[in-house]
């Protein structure tokens, strides 16, 4: 038995396991490595999401669609079993996998999610690809208008941090969160900072540089257990070290809800923007910064 035939048998077994039905001739079957694509296509006629990823690897295995696992290393055998006609991924994260994704027999569409506008443009392009240009264009237009309504009347100095266990990176203008801050009229103190980047738009900045920053608001996006990562940040900003200036942020230090901020929320960008805008517009607490 050669490798190809073995893979085919595995795919067939998985198809039976997940109950994948035969595709209708007029149905576009989509497998996506981006949760925001799954949401954008919800209830779109003649489009069916047949495979997707989990919100986190701590979440239980999905049963509503074929579970592809992690967007960083999707299960390609399960992808083959989904019988998708279109696979949608991220232009940066999934570019190295493009050839392997195409082996499923589906067309591959990679979307640029690094900014607000590129995300909206990508969702519009997705609409054209699945034959639902008007439906997606209308949804994008509504999201753009809602996001515009969340913009601050006056800029507020903000520093956004992306935290993982034992590590913190500054959010720059190269990340979608940095782009969202700009759209909301924040002054992102990390926008132009440079440093080693494990992921584009998230830079490791020297302690000396951090010591010079004076944000009014500090935001933390936690990739992992939010409470544990917040404790690590609190330990860094306590005392008189180079991080201590962050504790003086007049509008406090706040952990953003992971469900909206660990990955680009797409059409839900206005909801994410509303959360940040509310923190930016809050009346500064009496007596200086707080770290709730």
Give the tokens for residue 280.
Answer: 């930016």
Please write the tens of the pLDDT for every residue from 200-229: 899 999 888 888 999 999 999 998 889 999
Are 140 and 185 in the same domain?
Answer: no
Residue 62, domain member (yes or no): yes
Residue 195, domain member (yes or no): yes
Are 67 and 163 in the same domain?
Answer: no
Are 170 and 56 in the same domain?
Answer: no
Neighbours of 186 (CB within 10 A): 27
Please write the tens of the pLDDT for every residue from 141-170: 999 999 999 999 999 999 999 998 888 999
Flag the least confident range among 17-26, 43-52, 243-252, 271-280: 17-26
Give the tokens for residue 81.
Answer: 């079993």
Are 143 and 163 in the same domain?
Answer: no
Are 128 and 175 in the same domain?
Answer: no
Are 126 and 71 in the same domain?
Answer: yes
Question: 236 vs 85, which has greater pLDDT?
Answer: 85
Are 134 and 8 in the same domain?
Answer: yes
Residue 290, domain member (yes or no): no
Name residues whose C-beta falls within 8 Å of residue 278's C-beta, 6 or more positions apart in sequence.
Answer: none
The mean pLDDT of 63-87, rounded to a whole number, is 95
Are 117 and 13 in the same domain?
Answer: yes
Are 36 and 138 in the same domain?
Answer: yes
Last residue of a domain, which of 113, 147, 181?
A: 147
CATH code of the domain covering residue 88? 3.40.50.1980
Question: 248 vs 33, which has greater pLDDT?
Answer: 33
* pLDDT recorded at residue 25: 61
Residue 288, domain member (yes or no): no
Residue 102, domain member (yes or no): yes
Question: 287 vs 43, which has greater pLDDT?
Answer: 43
* pLDDT recorded at residue 242: 85
Range of the domain at 221: 157-281
pLDDT higher than threshold 70 for residue 20: no
Bridging pattern class, strands 202-204 and 196-199: antiparallel
Are 78 and 140 in the same domain?
Answer: yes
Q: How many domains does the chain have?
A: 2
Write down the pTM of the prediction: 0.85
Last residue of a domain, which of 147, 177, 197?
A: 147
pLDDT higher than threshold 90 for residue 135: yes
pLDDT higher than threshold 60 for residue 176: yes
Residue spans of beta strands (DSSP E) within 63-149: 66-67, 86-90, 107-111
């Amino acid at each position: 038995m050669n490798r190809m035939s073995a893979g085919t048998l595995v795919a067939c077994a998985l198809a039976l396991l997940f109950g994948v039905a035969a595709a209708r001739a007029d149905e576009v079957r989509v497998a996506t490595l981006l949760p925001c694509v799954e949401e954008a296509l919800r209830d779109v006629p003649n489009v069916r999401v047949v495979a997707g990823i989990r919100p986190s690897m701590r979440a239980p295995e999905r049963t509503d669609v074929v579970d592809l696992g992690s967007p960083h290393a999707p299960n390609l055998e399960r992808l083959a079993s989904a019988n998708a006609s279109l696979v949608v991924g991220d232009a940066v994260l999934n570019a190295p996998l493009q050839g392997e994704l195409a082996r499923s027999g589906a067309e591959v569409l990679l979307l640029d999610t690094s900014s607000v506008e590129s995300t909206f443009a990508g969702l519009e392009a997705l609409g054209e690809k699945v034959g639902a240009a008007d439906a997606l264009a209308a949804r994008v237009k509504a999201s753009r208008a809602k996001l515009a309504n969340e913009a601050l009347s006056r800029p507020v100095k903000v520093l956004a941090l992306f935290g993982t266990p034992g590590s913190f990176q500054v959010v720059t203008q190269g990340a979608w969160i940095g782009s969202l801050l700009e759209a909301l009229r924040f002054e992102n103190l990390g926008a132009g900072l440079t440093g080693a980047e494990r992921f584009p738009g998230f830079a490791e900045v020297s302690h000396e540089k951090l010591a010079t920053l004076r944000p009014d608001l500090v935001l933390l996006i936690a990739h992992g257990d939010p409470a544990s990562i917040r404790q690590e940040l609190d330990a860094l900003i306590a005392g008189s070290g180079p991080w201590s200036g962050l504790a003086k942020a007049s509008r406090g230090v706040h952990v953003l809800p992971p469900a909206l901020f660990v990955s680009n929320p797409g059409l839900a960008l206005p909801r994410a923007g509303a959360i940040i805008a509310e923190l930016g517009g809050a009346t500064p607490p009496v007596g200086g910064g707080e770290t709730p």
